[in-house]
Amino acid sequence: MATSYQHALLMFSKPPVPGLVKTRLTREKGGPFSPEDAAAFFHRSLFDVMELSIEAIGQLEAEDKAAHELDADAPSHTYDIFISTTPAENVAIMRKTFEDAGVWPREFTYLLDSGMTFDEHFDDAFKQVFAAGYDSVLSIGGDIPLLPREHVLNGFRWLQHFLATSDKGGVIQAPCQECGVSVIGWTKTTDIDHQGVYYNMTGRPALDAYVEKCSEKGIPLASMSPVADIDDMSDFAHAVTLARSARYSAQFQPQLYVPERFLAWVDWKGIRVGTPPNEDRDSREGIDSPASAVAPL
């Protein structure tokens, strides 16, 4: 009988409520947006990330079906989506946020995570999913509209690999731009947690914390390319330029995911990214000038 594995995509996120999300983008924190605008941006990003994840899971399911057509005894893999937030009233808000958008291609299971710190909340969400019988969890946030589809695909492929080959389980991560992670996940048998990763008194970066936890116990760790989340205006500007590049490039690279909800809001707001004019002359000009040319040997 073929081995069967259950995998969970965990959206660990706050709901898009003004004053609750992306406050560093607001005027109160030195940014250009109102709390309502910051929440509106996050709302669209949240949906783009979820749509991308659903598309990736659909591709993984198609791969699983094809594998079984070739070999009926191949391991079976199924996927479900969990959305975890806190406190209890925010679970209802998050549920309504997604339901108000209409019918989604997949059902979501909503979780209430609890704890005294971010680390404890994160651990609680993972524990709830594993207690429900799942063999792996891949966790993402809602503020990464430029998340590559391949990160969800390869994240689950690595978790499948660890389930099949490692008696210590395994961890998969993708760094963010600030020494943290944008994607993190591990198998049920992996002896690891989030304690001391985000809530720590030593200033140790989150990425280093995960690597050290794995290194101390010899846990396999796979790393994907960095993907930026959006916390401040520099991140936001970077995301806008990347998204516009993806929109044009998708004509020639159909596999690219374009965060159209995020871009539609950016275009509607008339947002343009600018940089200070660069009037510096090329520092090589003096080197390459005729006066400084060196006679050939």
Note the pLDDT tens digit of each residue in 160-186: 999 999 999 999 999 999 899 999 999
What pLDDT, on the 0 to 100 scale, is given for residue 199?
87
Query: Does residue 243 belong to any structural domain of this protein?
Result: no
What pLDDT, on the 0 to 100 scale, is given for residue 1?
64
17-42: per-residue pLDDT in tens?
999 999 999 999 999 999 999 999 99
Query: Does residue 16 belong to any structural domain of this protein?
Result: yes
Kindly report whether the global pTM for this prediction surpasses the value 0.75. Answer: yes
Q: Which domain holds residue 87?
A: 4-237
Computed over every residue of the chain, the mean pLDDT equals 94
61-117: per-residue pLDDT in tens?
999 999 999 999 999 999 999 999 999 999 999 999 999 999 999 999 999 999 999
Over residues 198-227, the mean pLDDT reads 95
Query: Does residue 178 belong to any structural domain of this protein?
Result: yes
Specify whether the CB–CB gap between 44 and 265 falls below 8 A: yes
Over residues 275-295, the mean pLDDT reads 65
Query: Does residue 290 belong to any structural domain of this protein?
Result: no
Distance CA 236, CA 34 (A): 15
Which among 232, 214, 14, 227 has a CA at the least distance from the CA of 121? 14
Query: Does residue 275 belong to any structural domain of this protein?
Result: no
Tell me the CATH number at 90: 3.90.550.10
What pLDDT, on the 0 to 100 scale, is given for residue 281?
64
